[in-house]
């Protein structure tokens, strides 16, 4: 098996030196996996279990079964031979994404909502799973689809496949395995094997998702979206048309391989072979530890190593003063420079603090995660806990004026790893007092909000 720089390897010049290099803790660590104790951050601040459960139930009712125009993300849409079909939509963009579908499944299995789980998984398999053998992404899931099941992409995104895998393992343990697509364990094993062992395939587009589909070609106009209402109004006021997509550049050849970079034991941003970068928010060491115990036997050592690598990656890519993670990095941790002249903290990046803090809660193998949570909470608190921006340069320059519930929610999960004190408690209380997201931006904000309520209440658990 190839080697990768371990936590003891001397840090390159861009690494956050004050964190130091700390060897990984072997075995099961000292977190909830070993102790079976999950902290309830809300009860630690005086909120009763009944109050907390009522808050979680209300959020689920609103986001899954509330008003279809302003509140709901989950929509059932008929049935097929496998049963009901449902999707989670990014309302602002009027599409369904593997990210949201897999988040919806994770929420459903954590809350014991089998109907919703199965309906989402059925829709993903029916519409998103690439089955055309001429598409080099075959057996992956197309990351974005229109809500009528037609494609907006014919290639995958690793974060969705990771959450699909983990949700399916939990479902197998919670409900047992059924047949076909509802043999959850077999489905999880299949996806996880593909993440590491997908063959390297090349093809020239346009591609199809299913062999019977028409070839997918990006349209030369904006996708239908509620957001286009505002854009159309602004365009009309300025006397200009809506901006068009760039003209297609002709047939494009793609080479698709595994979702991990084998020599670095690291998740890729996309599985296109020529794209050699990673995204810190895709790193999920808490899940990798479970895959090292539950996944296909031949890959367990790989995932155990990947967990250690991800913890080290968090430590070396974050801003040294802010704790913010960039949207993209090279595998060695060096930054991918954006149009702002530096690496930037963006929408994907919101999740990173939650990822390492859940890892700390479940495993407690790397004390650097506590340092990072303290750092990012301290920085955001200094920006105003109710007003910090949702995008920054890594050194803390705001790149927006919008304050986002999803980013707040993920930062509140950071309190699992942060030192107990006024700042960490303020984030938990701010989440408690924040209303359920609604309106155009309710998708990403809402998914992170509800998952963070489950985390902070001790109700997002390892189901074994």
Among the options 95, 99, 118, 390, which is catalytic? 99
Active-site pick, 132, 159, 189, 348: 348
Tell me: pLDDT of 233 over 90: no
pLDDT above 70 covers what percent of the chain? 88
What is the model's pTM? 0.92
User: What average pLDDT is seen over the chain?
Assistant: 91
pLDDT at 342 (0 to 100): 76
What is the per-residue pLDDT across 260-291, written as a single tens digit (0 to 9) for each?
999 999 999 999 999 899 999 999 999 999 99
| Per-residue pLDDT at 335 | 87
pLDDT at position 250 is: 64
Confidence at residue 13, expressed as pLDDT on a 0 to 100 scale = 35
pLDDT at 303: 97
**Tens digit of pLDDT for each residue in 328-365?**
999 999 989 877 777 899 999 999 999 999 999 999 99
**Structure tokens of 415?**
């309190």
Same fold, 1-70+276-464 and 73-268: yes
pLDDT tens for each residue of 359-393 = 999 999 999 999 999 999 999 999 999 999 999 99
CATH topology of domain 73-268: Glycosyltransferase (1.50.10)
pLDDT score of 14: 35
3-state secondary structure labels for all residues of the chain: CCCCCCCCCCCCCCCCHHHCCCCCCCCCCCCHHHHCCCCCCCHHHCCCHHHHHHHHHHHHHHHHHCCCCCCCCEEEEEEECCEEEEEEEECCCCEEEHHHHHHHHHHHHHCCCHHHHHHHHHHHHHHHECCCCCCCCCCCECCEEECCCCECCCCCCHHHHHHHHHHHHHHHHHHCCCCHHHCHHHHHHHHHHHHHHCCCEEEECCCCCCCCCCCCCCCCCCCCCCHHHHHHHHHHHHCCCCCCCCCCCCCCEEEECCCEEHHHCEECCCCECCCCEECHHHCCHHHHHHHHHHCCHHHHHHHHHHHHHHHHHHHHHCCCCCCCCCCCEECCCCECCCCCCCCEECCHHHHHHHHHHHHHHHHCCCCHHHHHHHHHHHHHHHHCCCCCCCCEECCCCECCCCCCHHHHHHHHHHHHCCCCCHHHHHHHHHHHHCCCCCCCCHHHHHHHHHHHHHHHCCCCCCCC
Residue 17 pLDDT: 35
- The CATH class that applies to domain 1-70+276-464 reads mainly alpha
CB proximity list for 59: less than 8 A, separation 6 or greater: 436, 446, 449, 450, 453
Residue-range domain boundaries for the chain: 1-70+276-464, 73-268
User: Is 254 designated active site?
Assistant: no
Give the per-residue pLDDT at 244.
Answer: 56
Pair type for strands 277-278 and 329-330: antiparallel
Cis peptide preceding 406, ω within 30 of 0? no
pLDDT for res 220: 74
Q: Range with the lowest mean pLDDT among 11-15, 104-108, 424-428, 459-463?
A: 11-15
**251 falls in which pLDDT band (50, 70, 90)?**
confident
Residue 168 in this model has a pLDDT that exceeds 50: yes
Residue 275 has φ and ψ, to the nearest 5°, of: -100, 95
298 in active site: no
pLDDT of residue 5: 33
Asked if residue 235 has pLDDT above 90, the reply is no
The β-bridge partners of 266 are 261
């Amino acid at each position: 098996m190839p080697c990768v720089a371990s936590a003891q390897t001397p840090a390159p010049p861009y690494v956050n030196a004050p964190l130091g290099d700390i060897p990984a803790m072997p075995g099961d660590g000292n977190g909830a996996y070993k102790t079976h104790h999950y902290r309830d951050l809300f009860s630690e601040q005086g909120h009763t279990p009944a109050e907390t459960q009522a808050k979680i139930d209300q959020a689920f009712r609103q986001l899954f079964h509330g008003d279809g125009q302003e509140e709901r993300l989950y929509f059932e849409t008929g049935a097929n031979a496998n049963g009901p079909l449902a999707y989670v939509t990014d309302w602002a963009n009027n599409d369904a994404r593997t990210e949201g579908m897999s988040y919806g499944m994770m929420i459903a299995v954590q809350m014991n909502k089998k109907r919703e789980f199965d309906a989402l998984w059925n829709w993903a398999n029916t519409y998103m799973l690439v089955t055309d053998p001429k598409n080099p992404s075959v057996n992956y899931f197309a990351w974005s689809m229109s809500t009528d099941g037609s494609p907006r992409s014919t290639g995958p995104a690793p974060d969705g496949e990771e959450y699909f895998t983990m949700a399916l393992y939990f479902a197998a343990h919670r409900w047992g395995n059924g047949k076909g697509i509802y043999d959850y364990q077999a489905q999880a094993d299949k996806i996880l094997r593909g993440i590491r062992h997908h063959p390297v395939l090349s093809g020239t587009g346009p591609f199809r998702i299913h062999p019977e589909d028409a070839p997918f070609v990006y349209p030369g106009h904006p996708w239908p979206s509620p957001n286009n209402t505002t854009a159309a109004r602004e365009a009309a006021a300025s006397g200009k048309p809506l901006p068009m997509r760039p003209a297609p550049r002709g047939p494009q050849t793609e080479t698709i391989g595994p979702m991990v970079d084998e020599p670095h034991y690291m998740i890729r941003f996309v599985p296109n072979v020529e794209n050699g970068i990673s995204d810190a928010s895709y790193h999920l060491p808490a899940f990798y530890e479970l895959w090292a115990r539950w996944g296909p036997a031949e890959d367990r050592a790989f995932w155990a190593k990947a967990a250690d690598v991800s913890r080290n990656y968090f430590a070396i890519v974050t801003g040294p003063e802010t704790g913010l993670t960039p949207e993209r990095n090279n595998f060695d941790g060096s930054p991918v420079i954006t149009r702002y002249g530096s690496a930037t903290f963006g929408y994907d990046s919101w999740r990173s603090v939650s990822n390492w803090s859940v890892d700390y809660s479940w495993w407690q193998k790397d004390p650097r995660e506590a340092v990072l949570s303290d750092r990012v909470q301290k920085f955001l608190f200094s920006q105003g806990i109710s007003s910090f921006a949702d995008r920054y340069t890594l050194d803390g320059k705001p790149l927006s004026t919008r304050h986002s519930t999803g980013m707040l929610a993920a930062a509140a999960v950071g309190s699992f790893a942060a030192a107990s004190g006024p700042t960490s408690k303020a984030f938990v209380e701010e989440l408690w007092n924040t209303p359920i997201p609604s309106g155009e931006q309710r998708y990403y904000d809402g998914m992170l909000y509800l998952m963070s309520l489950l985390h902070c209440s001790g109700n997002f658990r390892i189901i074994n």
